Amino acid sequence: MALHIEKIEKSKISEVDFNNLKFGQVFTDHMFECDYENGEWQTPKIRPYQALSFDPSAKVFHYGQAVFEGMKAYKDDNDDVWLFRPDQNQERINKSAERLDMPPFPKDYFFEGLTTLIKMDSDWVQKGADNSLYIRPFVISTENCVSASSSNKYKFMIICSPVQAYYAGEVRVVFADKYSRAANGGVGYAKAAGNYAASFYPAKLAAKEGYQQVLWTDAANHEFLEEAGTMNVFFRVNDTLLTAPTSDRILDGVTRKSIIQFAEDKGIKVEVRPVRVTEIIEAAKKGELKEMFGAGTAAVISPILGFAHKGEKFELPKIDDSYASFIKKSITDIQRNKAEDKFGWRFQVK
């Protein structure tokens, strides 16, 4: 493919304090973009990171045709840069796009643009256990028209942000019993921008009560536990890991499927099935709920120390040999090229 490249005159990397990064607020020197017009994707380009200009009537502002992905790049001790299962992100962004009636982005464009961009900004990928480069591919509708219909113009972009740990503090959640994240037949399985916008208000209410996330339940009866904020969620009841099955309400998380495969490979019993609110509360009361943790690209694994439901509060025990710490270290070691990758998950940026 033809890829037009415009390099920055002077890097801004010397202005960045990599020891004090706020997640997603600092961006690298370059960005990738490609426009969809006249029924096809145009010549992709990489150019200096900069602001964009849109007409006020651009459809993304009015009808929310916007999907995105979250990925990370890691640098090992030999200065080699690695991605983690990028094929899954490439497939999922097109799956999300299809649900919002947006055109699929060509796989070769995606990988050529992604790898070239990371190579150009490889100095921004810092070594170290908590350091990585967060990568945000996204697609928005750009046609200048306020008619309520799908756009005929789109922009695909990739921007990158150096980051450290996502959740630095303790995480407690509240089980949703009023608001919902997604419904049957909706767009819950897609990484649609509006899914996250709809979650912010309930999350703000939870924060006022001292909780960092909402653990979403099914929209019909709030009977089954599904996702935790921006993450898939796992429950360890005795020595069994439970997690909800994917559906048209639940995101098919890359970290989620990796945890399931890794745990099963290590002989940990995993049950992928609907998980009832009452089941987890009962397990907590009996002392059988050993762990809860969220799973996602940003945090990898984030232990959940407690939860609340309809005013009733529960704290989880602190255990030394947690599944969360074992699985997180094992997966991050694979991501950072510190351990054997028997699953073929690593992708080297060459």
Same structural domain, 82 and 211: no
Q: Looking at the structure, do residues 184 and 89 belong to the same domain, yes or no? A: no
pLDDT, residue 299, reads 81
What pLDDT score was predicted for residue 169? 74
Indicate whether 341 belongs to any domain. no
Of 114, 144, 163, the residue at which a domain comes to its end is 163
Which CA distances in Å does 249 have to 29, 84, 218, 239?
36, 24, 8, 27
Looking at the structure, do residues 97 and 233 belong to the same domain, yes or no? Answer: no
Co-location of 67 and 124 in the same domain: yes
Domain ranges, residue 186: 172-335
Residues 6+ apart with CB under 8 A from 277: 175, 217, 222, 223, 224, 225, 309
CATH of the domain at 129: 3.30.470.10
Q: For residue 216, give the nearest of 241, 191, 198, 192 by alpha carbon.
A: 198
Same domain (yes/no): 177, 101: no
Pick from 130, 163, 196: which residue ends a domain? 163
The pLDDT assigned to 168 comes to 63
The answer to whether position 52 is within a domain reads yes
Residues in the chain with pLDDT < 50?
none
What CATH number did the domain enclosing 305 receive? 3.20.10.10
Asked if residue 348 is part of any domain, the answer here is no
Residue that is written with structure tokens 């992100």 in the block: 89
What's the total number of domains in the chain?
Answer: 2
Contacts of 147 (CB under 8 A, 6+ apart): none
Task: Say if residue 8 is in the same domain as residue 80.
Answer: yes
Q: Is residue 346 part of a domain?
A: no
Is 266 found in the same domain as 130?
A: no
Q: Let me know if 242 is exposed, middle or buried by CB neighbors in 10 A (0-12, 13-18, 19+).
A: buried
Domain match, 72 and 218 both: no
**Is residue 349 assigned to a domain?**
no
Any domain includes 342: no
Is residue 189 located within the same domain as residue 323? yes
Residue 280 lies in a domain: yes
Same domain, 290 and 270: yes
- Reported as a single tens digit per residue, the pLDDT across 107-162 is 999 999 999 999 999 999 999 988 999 999 999 999 999 999 999 999 999 999 99
Q: Is residue 62 part of a domain?
A: yes
- Same-domain pairing of 8 and 140: yes
* Pair (16, 123) in one structural domain: yes
Res 166: pLDDT? 73
Residue ending a domain, choose from 163, 189, 208 = 163
